[in-house]
Structure 1
Amino acid sequence: MTKFVDSKFVKKISEITYASYDHGWDERNGGNVSLRIDAADLTEYEDIKTVKKTLELGFDAKPLAGQYFLVTGTGRYFRNVINQPKLDLGLLQITEDGQKADLLWGFEDGGKPTSEFPSHLMTHIERLKFDPTHRVVMHCHPTNLIALSFTQDLDEGHISRLLWKMQAESLVVFPEGLGVIPYMTPGTNEIGRATAAKMKNFRVVMWPHHGIFGVGASLDETFGLIETVEKAALIYSQIGAQGGKIKQSITDDQLRELATAFNVTANPKFL
């Protein structure tokens, strides 16, 4: 029998969560990830055919009815997932009425999905309207980006331009820029709705004084998106450590040339 714990999905999410911890983005039980998996990719696993329990979602996820999600658990440490995936991960299927999720695998010690799972599902719903290949939502706490939320105006155009100008890769990787929501209490449907609304125009959203939400077609792509944003914020922090005086920088014209060279469209509101 092919076991789901040996699947490429469990292996990859275990690697990504450890890498995120190793980068310093997920202290203690900080951070969460969800991966949408197609039913056709699950047919070979015999140990996910029985519903272990059914969980209330607390909001209407009917647009995702029947969809499968591999998600990290609430209160779990990213550094541990790689060694105990059957405890720290769960495979869930959204029920047909969209109000609940059936647990098919994982959380073997009685665990539950991350408290941000409704926020993840809201973002999945929104992104699927724009790009059906998007199947990953990742939330973590990148140090230097969080620091920016204390020292910079919480203006999307300002922060996006700042990050674009820190390195050539930024504009290429996130040409639409960075979405920003006001500070809100995490783990609530309110912050989930605010984040999902931003996902109409962005693939990465800052939660001021807290962290970041990113989406992508794969775990690697989503991790790389957040990694690029955080690298740009790190460079800005290093500039401050070196005295803060910028003698030269990437210009607006050079950003436009960069967009043309890599065939991306820079957010016209920010340039």
Structure 2
Amino acid sequence: MPRFTHAISFVEEVAPFVRLCWEMGWNEANGGNVSWRLPTDEITAILRRRFPNARQHPAVPLPQPQPTLDGEYFLVTGSGQFFRHALDHPDEVFGIVQIVDNGTAYRRVWGYVMGGSPTSEFATHLVGHAIRKRVSNGRERIVLHCHAPEFIALSFLVPLDSRALTMALWQKMPECIVIFPDGVRVVPPLLPGTVTIAEASAVELEKSRIISWSHHGIFASEENPERVFALVETIEKASAIHRKVLSAGGPQRGIGQDLLIELADHFSAMLVCEPAFLKDAG
């Protein structure tokens, strides 16, 4: 990855991964978005030290209040921003906002130097953060939404069914059940950036770090930029293998259920949860 430095360590860490998402073909033009729930004490100290005279911006109401995120800071890609500009124009591509007023609004504290604002899907990101913060006991902090092409292609080829999609991916590489034992949960085609898709996503995020926005892309939650990138990378590779198998006429054989159970048992210490779809999977 290119050497990149920035006054804010979190921007320095995430920007190369955002650029890499574009290089992988996951985030064309202004497609996709990232949000990172930052450690409060650390980002407060950085902002105070590096930007002591930063302007205080007015609060902007949120369409869905998130009281459990009140006071939290988020590093968020801006609406209309291109991932490929992350290293060249980080102060435009990224901004930092704080959730205020008991979770009913946000205020900008850094970035968006050209007058931008958080991604139009920020409300859905906050829904995801609130749920995954609770479910993971605070471990998960970053959400990546991208348009991984092989993964999207499968939504046109296989049933829009969480179990069917998950089992197909698990059976393509032994690593899959270890990397994402929680599986992929499918959300039907819905208008992006709306309360409707946020509510549908919330149901599935209670069960998994990974959801499929059918015909649109992937929405994944993890601990830091490297881990969320690796999660999507693994799913995208398995999707590519499955698509190639389908294009060759379908599988003649695969990783059987017995081996999946053996893999889950052998690597149980590494799993984030029990493999949800392994029981009764025939």
TM-score in terms of structure 1 length: 0.94
Aligned match of 1:260: 265
Which stretch has the larger CA shift, 134-143 or 5-14?
5-14
Partner of 1:11: 12
Aligned pairs for 1:103-252 (under 5 A) are 103-131=108-136, 132-241=138-247, 243-252=248-257
- Structure 2 counterpart SS, 1:185: coil
Q: 1:61 aligns with which of 66, 71, 76?
A: 66
Q: Any idea what the Cα deviations from partners look like across 1:53-77, whole Å, max 9, x if unmatched?
A: 4322222122111000000001111
Q: Which residue of 2 aligns with 1:72?
A: 77
Check conservation: 1:157, 1:269, Cα contact below 8 A: no
1:91 counterpart (89, 93, 96): 96
- 1:168 deviates by 0.8
Q: Which whole-Å CA distance do the structure 2 matches of 1:58 and 1:5 have between them? A: 32
Question: Aligned AA for 1:262?
Answer: F
State the secondary structure of the residue aligned to 1:226. helix
- Please state whether the residue corresponding to 2:155 is helix, strand or coil: helix
Give how far 1:45 is off. Answer: 2.9
Distance in 1 between residues matched to 2:221 and 2:14, nearest whole Å: 14
Unaligned runs of 5+ in 2: none
Deviation of 1:191 after TM superposition, in Å, equals 0.6
Aligned-residue offset at 1:270? 6.2
| 1:204 alignment partner AA | I
SS in 2 for 1:163: helix
Aligned pairs, number:
267
CA drift of 1:154 comes to: 0.7
- Does structure 1 conserve the Cα–Cα contact (< 8 Å) formed by 2:8 and 2:46? no
Matched-pair contact (CA < 8 Å) for 1:160–1:270: no
Q: Which amino acid aligns with 1:247?
A: Q
Look up the match of 1:36: 37
Q: Do the aligned partners of residues 254 and 39 (structure 1) sit closer, same or farther apart at CA in structure 2, a change above 3 Å counting?
A: same
Q: What residue identity is the alignment partner of 1:163?
A: L
> Is the contact between residue 129 and residue 141 of structure 2 (CA under 8 Å) also seen in structure 1?
yes
* Contact kept in structure 2, 1:76 and 1:88, CA below 8 Å: yes
The reply to whether residue 82 of structure 1 matches residue 87 of structure 2 is yes
Per-residue deviation at 1:219? Answer: 1.1
8 Å CA contact retained: 2:97, 2:106:
yes
Deviation of residue 246 (structure 1)? Answer: 2.6
User: In structure 1, how many angstroms separate the alpha carbons of the residues matched to 2:183 and 2:88?
Assistant: 36
Q: Partner of 1:70: helix, strand, or coil?
A: strand
Comparing 251-260 and 6-15, the one that deviates more: 6-15
Percent identity, aligned pairs only, is 35
Cα 1:246–1:199 shift into 2, 3 Å = same
Q: Quote the offset at 1:245 in angstroms.
A: 4.1
Runs of 4 or more, structure 1, over 6 Å off, are none
Bigger drift between 76-85 and 55-64 goes to: 55-64
- Read off the aligned partner of 1:154 and give its amino acid letter: L
The 1:36–1:203 alpha-carbon spacing in structure 2 relative to 1, beyond 3 Å, is same
Instruction: Give the TM-score taking structure 2 as reference length.
Output: 0.90
Structure 1: which amino acid aligns with 2:112? Answer: F
